[in-house]
């Protein structure tokens, strides 16, 4: 590559304080650069522009199953028979103990995650009660992921001490409609905008490996950037038997590394957060991903899949040059 799309010049420009790559540049880099070249460029941007303090969080599957939405990747959708656990909102004490355990392991943030399009006011009240109990007993920051909450509900969770709201865009705007028909991506964006308006931080990312192209991964990254998201979970699809994506081939290490690198070049200052589906990747791939841009992670178990041992992961993260 040469001229405007010279990757060395682009990296110098990003590091000098300007924004990340343009959409046209990202497409050109995707087309013309090897994974190794993208990784090297992203590592330089990460070293110069991104936080060296690794951001950690954990989640509790606070309410599981029987979701009315038809998201094709999801084990908890009532449209599919997957054998996923089904239960109402967990008791306050159970969620409190989970938060205290995360705090004991040095994890910085704890998130309530619930199935369903949204929560009832009764369940929102219970989450607020739990948040108040956690804040009394430990200093862990709190996050919530409960679908399309309305403004009043978001105001209530903010008042209860929850500081961040999560709602994934999941995939590129051009691809989302092929994966879900019961709600739109615009509804998700509207929820994130409302959360920000009431004073909450916002967290949003997606799932890689659902049949999208690399160009659509770039499209997702720019949609997230446009929304002003600085915490970006990157999930890797774990095909679930019984869902429409059950037979989707697993993406390889190379695709994951390219995705991380491109996301970092597009969003130089964001926390790129490894989330579900990454435990199957090799030690080498994980370390390369950290150096290319991953500076945050959900540690411990995920919603319907097992995560990696927390201490093992922390040791690897320190080895990649981060601190906690």
Q: Give the DSSP letter string of 79-92.
A: TS------B-SPPH
Q: State the CATH number of the domain containing residue 134.
A: 3.20.20.70
Residues in a beta bridge with 77: 67
Residue 112 lies inside a defined structural domain of this protein: yes
Whether pLDDT at 61 is above 80: yes
Q: According to the model, what pLDDT value does residue 2 have?
A: 39
pTM as predicted: 0.94
Segments of the chain assigned E as strands: 55-63, 109-114, 141-145, 164-166, 201-203, 206-208, 231-236, 271-274, 294-298
Domain that holds residue 226: 22-33+55-319
Whether pLDDT at 252 is above 90: yes
Question: What count of other Cβ atoms lies within 10 Å of the Cβ of residue 150?
Answer: 12
Q: What is the pLDDT of residues 197-242, one digit of tens each?
A: 999 999 999 999 999 999 999 999 999 999 999 999 999 999 999 9
Q: What is the pLDDT of residues 166-207, one digit of tens each?
A: 999 999 999 999 999 999 999 999 999 999 999 999 999 999
Residue 13 lies inside a defined structural domain of this protein: no
Residue 3 lies inside a defined structural domain of this protein: no
Residue 14 lies inside a defined structural domain of this protein: no
Residue 183 lies inside a defined structural domain of this protein: yes
Whether pLDDT at 4 is above 70: no
User: Could you give the number of structural domains in the chain?
Assistant: 1
Residue 283 lies inside a defined structural domain of this protein: yes
Residue 263 lies inside a defined structural domain of this protein: yes
Whether pLDDT at 45 is above 60: yes
Residue 176 lies inside a defined structural domain of this protein: yes
């Amino acid at each position: 590559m040469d001229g405007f799309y010279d990757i060395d010049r682009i990296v110098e420009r990003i590091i000098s304080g300007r924004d990340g790559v343009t959409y046209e540049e990202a497409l050109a880099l995707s087309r013309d650069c090897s994974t190794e070249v993208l990784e090297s460029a992203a590592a330089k941007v990460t070293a110069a522009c991104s936080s060296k303090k690794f951001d950690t969080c954990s989640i509790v599957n606070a309410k599981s199953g029987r979701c009315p939405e038809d998201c094709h990747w999801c084990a908890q959708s009532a449209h599919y028979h997957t054998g996923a656990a089904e239960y109402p909102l967990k008791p306050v004490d159970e969620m409190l103990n989970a938060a205290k355990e995360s705090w004991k392991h040095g994890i910085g943030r704890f998130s309530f995650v619930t199935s369903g399009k949204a929560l009832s006011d009764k369940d929102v009240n219970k989450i607020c009660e739990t948040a108040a109990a956690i804040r009394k007993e430990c200093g862990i920051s709190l996050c919530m992921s409960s679908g399309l909450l309305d403004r009043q509900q978001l105001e209530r969770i903010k008042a209860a001490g929850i500081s961040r709201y999560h709602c994934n865009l999941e995939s590129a705007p051009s691809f989302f409609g092929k994966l879900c028909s019961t709600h739109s991506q615009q509804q998700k964006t509207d929820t994130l905008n409302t959360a920000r308006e009431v004073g909450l931080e916002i967290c949003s990312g997606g799932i890689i490996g659902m049949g999208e192209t690399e160009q659509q991964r770039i499209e997702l990254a720019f949609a997230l950037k446009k929304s002003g998201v600085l915490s970006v979970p990157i999930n890797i699809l774990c095909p679930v038997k019984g869902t429409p994506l059950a037979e989707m081939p697993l993406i390889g290490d190379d695709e994951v590394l390219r995705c991380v690198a491109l996301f970092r070049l597009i969003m130089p200052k964001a926390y790129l957060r490894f989330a579900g589906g990454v435990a199957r990747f090799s030690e080498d791939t994980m370390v390369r991903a950290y150096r290319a841009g991953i500076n945050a992670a959900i540690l411990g178990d995920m919603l319907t899949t097992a995560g990696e041992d927390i201490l093992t992961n922390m040791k690897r993260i320190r080895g990649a040059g981060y601190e906690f």
